[in-house]
Structure 1
Amino acid sequence: MSFLDTLLPKKEKSKYFLILQIGRITIKAVIWSANGNEIKIAGKGFATYDKPGKQIEAADAAILKAGKDLPENIEVNKVIFGIPVEYTDQNKIKKNELVKLKKLVNDLSLTPIGFIEIPEALSHYFRLKEGSPTTSLLVEVGVEYFSVSLLRVGKIHDSTTILRTDNPGLDLEKAFKTFTSIDILPSKIVLYDQGEDLEEIREELTKYPWQQKAAFLHFPKIEVLDSEIITNALVNAAASETTRDVTMENISETENIEEDKEESGIMNNESSEEKEMSEEGQNLESGIENKEEITIEEGITEEEVEGDNFGFVKDKDILEENITVSNDDIIKTPETKKPGIRKSTYLYQEPVLREEKEEYKPKIKLPEFKFKLPEFTFHIAGVLPVLLVIIFLAILSGVGVYAYWNIPTANVSLIVDPKIMDQQMDVTISPNTTIVDKDSKTIPGKILEITESDKVSSKTSGKKSVGDPATGEVTVYNKTNNSKSFKQGSIIMSSDNIKFTLNDDVTVASASDTGEGINFGKTTTKVTAVNIGPEGNLSSGTTFTFTDFPSSSYSAKNTVSFSHGTSREVSAVSQEDQDKLLSVAEDKLSKKAKDDLYVKLVEKEKLLEKSIKAFSTTKKFNKDVGDESSDLTLDISQNFKGVIYKENDLNELIKQIALGQMPEGYEFSPDKTVFTTDEPEVKKDGSITFLMKMKIYLLPKIDQEKIRNRISGKSFDQAQEYLKSSDNVVGVSMDLESPFPFGKDTLPHKPSNIKIGIATR
């Protein structure tokens, strides 16, 4: 070492960490390093397993992949587990999962230093990414289960796991209803897993009627989380325990890792003589109980550091020491600080405030300043500065009061119990009227027409034989006393029922008596087999009979074998091929017509989808049935009609129908009313009639202006007390937006800054 090296500061050594993200059928390994506040991902590995007994092999494979680019002198043996919600119960690792993790770390010579529940890591990640605490429903999609976590203002308030069926919407509805501590659910659902394609599930959930099935104020936004985000969230959460000033920008991925010959490769700069783990099979109850917990930063107790606690303990094996074994053999995690939000004991929900981002702040006392105002004599030079100061303070106070009066805003959601009326009626949409007629249940409408064309192709499935018929020459015999003429095309048949036709007209002389016997009349002629194929290649000496005459009168015989009969099987167009291709083309054009008709709608217009019909079709196939071909193409054009109506007209008709049965104090809610229709009947005048089945929602009348005036400037408790005195309101949720550090429990003083929303339970 040179003299200059002794004067320069030593390069800080990187510490290497391993994260194992555990799933039911997958394991992901991530090796990352920390050097000051700089975090680098050194490698990633992924493996799957199909049996619980294969979990250790999968973990070993994932770790090997993650560490394949590490220098030989770097050894990573301390591990942080990323585990799903179902692995824990009331901040404890379940016994059966603990046994598996214990065996894994023993077999792979690892030392566990902490674990992180994936929802907690995601909460931390979202807070750093978005700059403020978030509120959403986190849904882990497992092979056989859904694990749902309620994230409110950056904190996990509740979690539940439910078995998965073929109906994800119904499954999650049941899970959401277990969150009884809140009246209104977050309007954002985040799906994540460890490999399954979640787009199909997201599509199903977007079609589920959430506003009628669960306590959502608005239809929830449903997002799919990339699996890499989970990995980054785990690294970020773990890094926050080792490097308090870590941010999203500090984390990067690196491909090359410089070898440090002086580095031991053991995390936390421990020597190679570090105490080994206790022997496999040692009773877990020997662990140290209730030890004073210390954060990674030396000398800082937990009371002095506010922020996320992800279950880390410095220099302890969490499966051996930093645990207390309960009677049910479940290991406790280090106690985490509970979110500072009270839960209501009655149906009304406590106000939800936006919490400030939690971060470590040193306790610094400001010095006390003592000063004495100068004494002024009453002359012009002294009075003017005092007046200016007074005017400035008055203006500043006025601006402050004005800002405090006008800037804060609040959203107050009132939860009410609706009354639902089930109705059905025959509704007519007519292009011949312009008014809503309650008596005939007719609303105005109009017909839109559109032409759609397309060219579609498919492979043929039919088969046919092609080839040549057999040909030859026969001698025709006339056994009667009269001559006989046979027309071209007359059919002769062999004893095997193989038929041939005469190529030409032929006349055969009558039989004659020679005195020694009867000589049949005879003549020769060419014949061709009726069907193609080698079956017609008959040998010489074959006897034939005419199909239209008795064999006792006429017959034929070949003296030379027939030839040229061939056949082969080829693809051909069948009737089924044409029918299927036509059906596919018509379905495609029908969907395209629906989409194009929707484009033509203007604001507040609705399209009655079941009214869309094709009224004319032009089609042309490139091949006929029976033609030899492996491909079939169809050119098709169809004209469609669809009936549209105005949403306000239908709502007005429903409202008029409901008025006669509406209870006092209620009003019609068109936004929540839903209906279905049967197949419409088209009449000669162009109008259509259909049966409409409705669920009409009636909501209690709420004087929003009166409520705004009564609760403006009131504390949350006072506002809650007033609102819960109403018979119509069964729940309340409040959300305050204010930049001021004071008045966090007070609604805006300006009534127009309070937005009232109505939700149903």
Structure 2
Amino acid sequence: MALFSPNSIFKKKNPVNENYLSLTITPEKVLALIWAFRQSSIQVLGYAEAKFKDPENLVHQAAVAIDQASEEAKSDVSQVVFGLSRNWFDDGQVSSETSRLLESMSSDLELKAQAFVPLSVSIKNYLKSQEGAAPNVICVGLFENLCEAHLIKNNQVTASTQTRTNQTPEKVVELIKSLDAKEALPSRIVIFGEHDSHIMGKLQDSNLSDLFTQEPRIEYLSERELAESVAFAQGADILGHEVATQVSAQPVNKVPKEVKEPDEFGFVEGEDILKDKTQENVVGQREASLSALPQPKLPHVPPEQTKEKPAEVENKQPKTPGVSILDQILTLAWFEKITGIFKKQDSPRKIAVALIVLIAIFLMSSLILGQTISRAQVTIRVKSQPQEENFSAQVIVGSESNFDSKQVAGETISARTQGSQKGVPTGKKKLGNNSKGQVTVFNWTTSQTTFPAKTTIISPQGIKFNLDSGIQIASRSASQPGQEQVAVTAADFGPEANLASGTDFNFQQYDSLLYSARNDNAFSGGDEKEITVVSTGDMDKLDKSLSSELKEKSIENLKSSNPDKVIGDDAITIDVTKKQFDKKVDEEATLFNLDMNVTASVITYEQSKLNELLSAIANEDAPQELEAKPQNIEVLSLNSKASGGKLNLVGKFRANFIPKLDENDLKSTIAGKGEKQVRDILMQNPQITDVSIDFSPGFLLAPKIPKTEEKVTIKIETTT
């Protein structure tokens, strides 16, 4: 799933029949609360919590808490908002480690992250929603190795501080003092996190008169209420206004109080919540889980524009600039003057004169336009003689085209694609501990003997043990063998080596009548377990899958970024420039990942250059008075293969031979002539089948070919 991409931002939508997840993360616990809307109020469907030891263990414990909450809610969720204690921030901003952790958690747990919210912000708005008024309060978060304090006044978190030592009542008081309020502190303290009755009792018994104008009221916010505060913030942002004043198990028919300020709950719509890690300073600004976006502004109207002013009429007429005769003709400005004559009650003689003048002006303007702005396109249709021919050529990188050597200029282009893919390991491996114990070694010979460390003894069941250290044993006496005790360890792990006491052992390389051993106490410690590991086959399978995917993407990128180049699929070279697994062979894992970079490269060329070469090849054996132009070349088949830094081309083409026509001579021949004259001149060539002329503008009377060659275009079309 894509994590924190630009598509993963808040979008206001109808929340009906949708369940949401609020995931609160403190320094040592993760609180999962699943909830849904019931008539604009929040109904808790499931709640669970789990402790974690370190960030590496957080993802697993979060999954446990979410599973338990989902089981209670009888529902799965995908959309999540994170509530974060202050330890996850660094200098007022979400730390880069926290960003990576939340990205990894969302990806591994298949969650769509909407935003994050500091707990100080969620508690402020939770208290406001519950009590119906903006709270003035000091929030104190107590955790095992962290204490954070926040001053909330005038609906803002105006100051925050923290300490990372073991907490005592004295340290909590010092932390509250460090909030450094210019006015008297609110006489109300709300504690969240660990419910330390010792600290709370000490605080109630402490003399805090130097900090507060009156004895403060101390309250405790449970961990479930802490999770609900994050749900309230999440719900308020989705609805766009405050939710009901309590989290209920049944629908609450209470009209929600509308929030006038759209960013009161700290969520900002339209931002990537992890890649943009900025967070507003908590002092003197509105708190937000994202970088604040500017609020929509009403159109600015200067004060003087709001007053009605009498319209001022300017009597002076602007001076009209001089207009050329050509401009007047083109804009038909003269037409109104001429037609004005017909509106006057005058004699028929004047009307006739006006008509004559009008016709004369029209003819004159047509003549002027024909000599100044008219253009002509002459389309000549000729018979073509198609001829097919095989060819071979080379594309040379870094050189000019050489048609005599049948070489076309080319270049090497490349496109790099990177990606990653996860795989599920299927390998199995057994691990365990070796059984240990102590044996008494007997020397039944008449000579002193020595056994070095790692000497092997064997039980009747065939289980081998090695001496942990070397021993020296005296010779036997008249009635007793020489004996010495030594520690032994099983050669292989497993519970089968946990032998009972009284087991006799023989030495692997000696007769049992000469030397033997026995254990007086049972052996222990041997065990065995099977784990899932990454196998070589798992790696090969993931490698093949990802390389195939990236190869297709690289070729697609290569073609899309070079649309004007000819790229042969057979000529593309694929190089894997990076291949990195995050696990090793036989390493235990539930998932493993492969990162790979693939580069596709190819020698390419321009189709127009190849057509020029094929045109030159065709003209070597062209029929008399005929020629093949590049635009009349059609490639029928083409195979390309890269070799030795060159691209070899082999294929077949069709050349459509047409009569040799010199366009410059044609233009000078037909210049200044009318359409009929042009047709008569050109149709004298038996290879020309038709001629058509398009003039612009098209309303000219008896137009003629312009005498300026730049205004004449010759277009040759072929017919079979």
Give the TM-score of the pair, scaled to structure 2.
0.38
Give the TM-score of the pair, scaled to structure 1.
0.37
Structure of larger gyration radius: 2
